[in-house]
Structure 1
């Protein structure tokens, strides 16, 4: 095999391995959306990728798009029902229905689609021309829609579609039970705290600092209306949307890169004035994703990477026989290579090095 072909094959295998590791964490697709989009774009060969996760009715709860302008994201998040849900629109909700093909519905679009708002205000407005779509199903329903885009040149082919369809099984694994004891917990570097002051009587937001505004913009949660506005205009039901309708409440929402954690605290009322509440926001990154990133940076074989990941996720050394399918003799050999690559002295040391 020529060197160039060999290097392409090795790079593609690495992307498959990364995709399998990330989806195997069982976090859902929102917290790993940036990594998943990057892997799929590289595997198939596209200019950009987007991932939409859906509620039980097949409506988009949120999304991650690698390069769409803020104005386009604002339209999708806040004007979906008005502009993109009509009978002539082929949108994310349409693609989520199980009565159509799982892969490639937009590869050869008809004239109706090319006249639609979905194409002209979203796809073309983002600088894209060709689209390859995939429906991700798990637990008996559609959980997500993947879209790959090319700006110009050759359209997507049947071979491209076959590559993307191969990823469907991995993507569905993201909705299965996590393989680690605590990979659904925050554990990576936490982001800065943002604050929103609420009017206690009406529970309406009065003020948000710049960190809170940035966190809300980056969360891509439907209905917040924050992307393209010249000034920050918070929705009056912001606490309810974030699941913190009452003082003392805490909740988190799955967003690109982790979870948007929200907590609510009642403040002391000033003399004679009404009490106010403080809403605190932070992006929490999953421990498992941080461990995967560290493992992928090591010079290990795919099997050795899988073994190292088990340590980083908190598994016992003995779990490797069942979860990685290796004998004790093979495990000792692989651990020697893993310890040499990481500088770890033993299994417990390896676990700590991959977590800190």
Structure 2
């Protein structure tokens, strides 16, 4: 008698919930890109996954790819014009709203296999098949998700349907008005000259942050601080005296250019002796709350209740937010507190959302 294969339903249900919980934080896809790619690969079935988020004009603003070599990342970021010709199956083409939301590359024509996108990006990654999804929110394309497979069987219509289902959750990542509670993770500095804001020197932390930001024009894998582009602030869309948060894989990159006090007799036309670019990776704490909740042995409903505490909601509000009665909440909360090692709702919140030391 053949062995009975265990059902994947429980694992899939947990993965769908994890995807939706992370996206419902409303932080965009960049800060949760690694988690989302891993979940999409699990839910749909693929060798690798990638996410590309977009500027308002539809151009790539950044990306996360699970397994591309450094040389391929550098090429994509620094030489995007190679993939922008008409007919290229690039991110801009896949994001256009004049075609299907999912599966444009399920059955590509011969031109696809002659394209730079296939021969310079996909093949060096070991990929032959692509399943793509356009993510829309607020009436416009916001991101492209792509799953990849090595030579062999391609993606099925069923897998395309699963990716399209995931798109409902991915769109929720772009809801407006989400609060952010960021924890600083790493800080680096770049010294800029007085008049042209050209990089003079940078510490290793700054180079690492710029390498892993995956921003257009900043393909810096294998580079040294001497290889920073002379127009680095332009690539960050930043001018002297300004600051901004840039969505990057793993969080938000806070970039700020501020003047150093000039020494006597050294002031230039800009009024500053030099400028300092400070870079700090900040991780939204809400992501860690969801990860801690998902790691607990709870039912799906209990996870929904627990995450409300971790995200700072009052116990009274959780009745309507979780859609349960007071009696049901009391019953489920007893289990949650026992599993989490907390005494009450406030203690659960502290357990799931510890304050930085």
TM-score normalized by the length of structure 2: 0.93
Aligned equivalents of 1:231 and 1:193: distance in 2? 15
- The equivalent of 1:25 in structure 2 is 25
Instruction: Compute the displacement of 1:313 (Å).
Output: 0.8
- The equivalent of 1:160 in structure 2 is 159
User: In the TM superposition, what are the counterparts of 1:1-356 in structure 2 within 5 Å?
Assistant: 4-6=5-7, 8-81=8-81, 83-177=82-176, 182=179, 184-187=180-183, 190-227=184-221, 229=223, 232-247=226-241, 249-270=242-263, 272-274=265-267, 275-356=273-354
| Kept in 2: contact 1:213–1:232 (CA 8 A) | no
Aligned equivalents of 1:335 and 1:3: distance in 2? 36
- The equivalent of 2:270 in structure 1 is none
Give secondary structure in 1 for the equivalent of 2:227: coil
| Kept in 2: contact 1:27–1:178 (CA 8 A) | no
Give secondary structure in 2 for the equivalent of 1:74: helix
Instruction: Compute the displacement of 1:272 (Å).
Output: 3.8
Give secondary structure in 1 for the equivalent of 2:166: helix
| Kept in 1: contact 2:22–2:32 (CA 8 A) | yes
Instruction: Compute the displacement of 1:236 (Å).
Output: 2.6
Instruction: Compute the displacement of 1:138 (Å).
Output: 0.9
Structure 1 pair 108–230 and aligned structure 2 pair: CA distance change class (3 A): farther
Aligned equivalents of 1:227 and 1:322: distance in 2? 48
Deviations 1:4-53 (A, max 9, x none): 432x2111111101101000000111111110000000111111000001
| Kept in 1: contact 2:203–2:225 (CA 8 A) | no
Aligned equivalents of 1:243 and 1:325: distance in 2? 44
Instruction: Compute the displacement of 1:246 (Å).
Output: 2.2
Instruction: Compute the displacement of 1:208 (Å).
Output: 1.1
Aligned equivalents of 1:77 and 1:240: distance in 2? 15
Give secondary structure in 2 for the equivalent of 1:34: helix
Aligned equivalents of 2:115 and 2:186: distance in 1? 40
RMSD: 1.7
Aligned equivalents of 1:221 and 1:141: distance in 2? 21
Instruction: Compute the displacement of 1:225 (Å).
Output: 3.7
Instruction: Compute the displacement of 1:228 (Å).
Output: 5.0
Instruction: Compute the displacement of 1:234 (Å).
Output: 1.8
Deviations 1:142-176 (A, max 9, x none): 11111000113211111111111110111111111
Tell me which moved more, 219-228 or 116-125: 219-228
Instruction: Compute the displacement of 1:311 (Å).
Output: 0.8
Aligned equivalents of 1:265 and 1:110: distance in 2? 51
Structure 1 pair 56–219 and aligned structure 2 pair: CA distance change class (3 A): same
| Kept in 2: contact 1:243–1:250 (CA 8 A) | no
Aligned equivalents of 1:3 and 1:38: distance in 2? 27
| Kept in 1: contact 2:216–2:235 (CA 8 A) | no
Instruction: Compute the displacement of 1:194 (Å).
Output: 0.8
Structure 1 pair 254–237 and aligned structure 2 pair: CA distance change class (3 A): same
Aligned equivalents of 1:261 and 1:56: distance in 2? 20
| Kept in 2: contact 1:242–1:252 (CA 8 A) | no
Give secondary structure in 1 for the equivalent of 2:40: helix
Instruction: Compute the displacement of 1:203 (Å).
Output: 1.5
Instruction: Compute the displacement of 1:232 (Å).
Output: 4.2
Give secondary structure in 2 for the equivalent of 1:25: coil
| Kept in 1: contact 2:31–2:250 (CA 8 A) | yes
